[in-house]
Structure 1
Amino acid sequence: MAIPRQLACVGLGTGALLLIPLAAMQFTDEVRWTLVDFILAGALLAGMGACYVLLASRMHDRAQKAVLAIVLGIGLLAVWMELAVGVFGTPLAGS
């Protein structure tokens, strides 16, 4: 699959994932995302997805691609947790 098509899939996947909290906000008061939350989440998801596509396109070994996916996934989760609840106590920490 060509890189532009893969990047389009990343964009569609990001949009689909962002529909989950949007739908949840319609049914419960426990999910309260603002526009900034959606923008940051979209940037994180799309950025990590684009990084994977661009870096994995240079790799031919499946094991290397798997390690790349794991490392990027851990990085994404660490940033997401910090922004959400402040796990590490940085100035970016959320509530």
Structure 2
Amino acid sequence: FESRIDVNIRDHKKATPLHYACSSGNLRIVEQLLDRGAKVGAMDGNGYTGLHIAAYEGHLGIVRCLVDRGAKVEGVSRFGETARMLAEKQKHVEIVALLDSK
């Protein structure tokens, strides 16, 4: 049963389970989704990836995990925003520093 679950399924906003796990801050679920084939660079309808969302929400561990798993740090949303810009907007200085180092 578990092997038939589509970890890249999309909702009406084109968000995947990875987007929601990144938003909620659940690193364990993020890792499990990635281990089961979730696309680290999947974009929702606004061009946001899990990295954009985790950076905006201030989830440092998830940001680190996504970058280590190949997330594009320079990826730009439909609105021209990078994950670093979103982290800076929310004053998440540790995330800004991490993204600057990549």
Which one has a larger percent helix, Structure 1 or Structure 2?
Answer: 1
Which TM class, normalised by the smaller chain length?
under 0.3
| TM-score scaled by length of structure 1 | 0.27
Higher alpha-carbon Rg: 1
| TM-score scaled by length of structure 2 | 0.26
